[in-house]
Amino acid sequence: MHVEVRGLNKKFGSFQAVQDVNFSIDKGQLIGLLGPSGGGKTSILRMLAGLETVDSGDILFHGNRVNDLPPQERGIGFVFQNYALFKHMTVADNIAFGLEVKKWSKAKIKERVAELVELTGLSGFERRLPHQLSGGQRQRVAFARALAPEPQLLLLDEPFAAIDAKIRHELRSWLRDMIDRLGITSIFVTHDQDEAIEVADEIMIINKGRLEQKGSPWEIYKDPQSPFVAGFIGESTIVDNVSSLRGFETASSWPGTKALIRPEYVEIGQPSEFPILSATAKGRVRHIHFRGSEWLVEVEVGSSKLVTYRSLEKQVLHPGDEVQVLIHRAYLFNDSDSWIMENK
Ligand code: ATP
């Protein structure tokens, strides 16, 4: 289903929870709503579902305005963080629930439940009660139940938040496979950037009620439109005093300019390792963190602390070492503009 939202606003009392949000989503896409707690992600999802009223703006499904349709007439499925399964009902009955409400025939319900049990890998568990299942299995039941009435839009609110890290990882790729197979338009809320990057076709960054940026994970990583987005996705250092960075002094003539620097654009070494004319700055190693597959090195340059990676071969640097720092590229932002600068 094609989804479009125009000028969406929502206030709770005098608090503006969602502010002038606009977006459209193509059929079959998996979209991640990502942002800090309290940003308005759940409120947007609940308005799409019809569980929350809209103050102003339009929600269009297939080009038709659905603002005034009750949830059960919107053709959506909803999966919540805490499973929300019926405790005293078996897996099969949980999945069948929405179909009984819709007065499907007994035979059709049986057929559909069998299909979903198969699809979600729950064969053999049909007669179990929710407390006899693992967290991951329960969430698959919740998913099957949401899909049972053949919705055209699936909304998932922090679907993996209550599940431990290892299973969460498996469930993410499971969800990705499911959505690809079913081709159902899906929107999930998360505050976990890795989850959004790994699973979503496109991410919408939501902060303080506003949509800050929408794009593929790669677009958002490589071309952030605001310091907030740049800081929220991926690792980075924000440098307030740009004039302290050799090679970027010209940018300091713009008042209030901040630079954001990703670890992969920072190179450190001994002075002799860099060409004499290249714009490097003196730095000092502050901390070195072992991260399993690499070292994360924190280097102090003037009043800034930059981070960069080092491969695992051996630990050649130590805290206190003097190093030369070369910054290849930085994202520069001021109040009115943002641009990328290369150190040539
Ligand atoms: P989280 O990640 O913590 O779930 P979120 O981005 O999903 O956050 P929302 O749940 O949409 O954010 O909440 C946005 C803001 O609106 C919050 O400040 C919240 O306290 C407020 N809010 C949400 N629902 C209500 C409500 N029914 N009444 C009053 N305030 C509300």
Q: For residues 271 and 293, give the distance between their C-alpha atoms in angstroms, rounded to a whole number.
A: 26
State both tokens at 187. Answer: 């929107």
pTM of the model: 0.85
CA atoms within a 13 Å half-sphere pointing along the CA-CB vector of 32 = 29
Note the Cα 257 to chain centre separation in Å. 27
With a 6 Å cutoff on the Cβ, whether 208 touches ligand 1 is no
Q: For residues 321 and 230, give the distance between their C-alpha atoms in angstroms, rounded to a whole number.
A: 29
Residue nearest to atom 31 of ligand 1 (CA): 12
**108 CA distance to ligand 1 middle (Å):** 39
Q: For residues 211 and 219, give the distance between their C-alpha atoms in angstroms, rounded to a whole number.
A: 15
Q: What is the pLDDT of residues 231-272, one digit of tens each?
A: 888 888 887 777 666 667 666 666 778 888 888 888 888 767
With a 6 Å cutoff on the Cβ, whether 46 touches ligand 1 is no
Ligand 1 atom showing the smallest separation from residue 18 Cα: 14
Q: Choose among 157, 145, 93: nearest CA to 116.
A: 145
**40 CA distance to ligand 1 middle (Å):** 6
Q: For residues 171 and 134, give the distance between their C-alpha atoms in angstroms, rounded to a whole number.
A: 12
Tell me, what DSSP letter sits at residue 303? T
Q: For residues 95 and 90, give the distance between their C-alpha atoms in angstroms, rounded to a whole number.
A: 9
**94 CA distance to ligand 1 middle (Å):** 28
| Domains and their CATH numbers in the chain | 3-231 (3.40.50.300), 236-342 (2.40.50.140)
Q: Choose among 182, 221, 343, 195: nearest CA to 278.
A: 343
Ligand 1 atom showing the smallest separation from residue 40 Cα: 11
Ligand 1 atom showing the smallest separation from residue 206 Cα: 6
Which stretches within 2-152 are classed as H helix?
41-49, 91-101, 106-119, 135-147
DSSP assignment of 198-257 equals: HH-SEEEEEETTEEEEEE-HHHHHHS-SSHHHHHHSS--EEES-GGGSTT-GGGGGSTT-
Q: What is the dihedral of CA 191, 195, 197, 198, to 10 degrees?
A: -170
Ligand 1 pocket test: which of 42, 53, 157, 193 has the largest number of ligand atoms within 8 Å of its C-beta?
42
Ligand 1 atom showing the smallest separation from residue 46 Cα: 11
**162 CA distance to ligand 1 middle (Å):** 19
Q: For residues 344 and 4, give the distance between their C-alpha atoms in angstroms, rounded to a whole number.
A: 43
Ligand 1 atom showing the smallest separation from residue 13 Cα: 29
**37 CA distance to ligand 1 middle (Å):** 8
Tens of each residue's pLDDT in the chain, 344 residues:
999 999 999 999 999 999 999 999 999 999 999 999 999 999 999 999 999 999 999 999 999 999 999 998 999 999 987 768 899 999 999 999 999 988 999 999 999 999 999 999 999 999 999 999 988 899 899 999 999 999 999 999 998 887 888 888 888 888 999 899 999 999 999 988 989 999 999 999 999 999 999 999 999 998 888 888 988 888 888 877 776 666 676 666 667 788 888 888 888 887 677 765 566 778 899 999 888 888 889 999 888 888 888 876 666 788 999 888 888 888 888 777 777 777 66
With a 6 Å cutoff on the Cβ, whether 209 touches ligand 1 is no
Here the ipTM equals 0.93
With a 6 Å cutoff on the Cβ, whether 213 touches ligand 1 is no
**17 CA distance to ligand 1 middle (Å):** 7
Q: For residues 91 and 69, give the distance between their C-alpha atoms in angstroms, rounded to a whole number.
A: 30
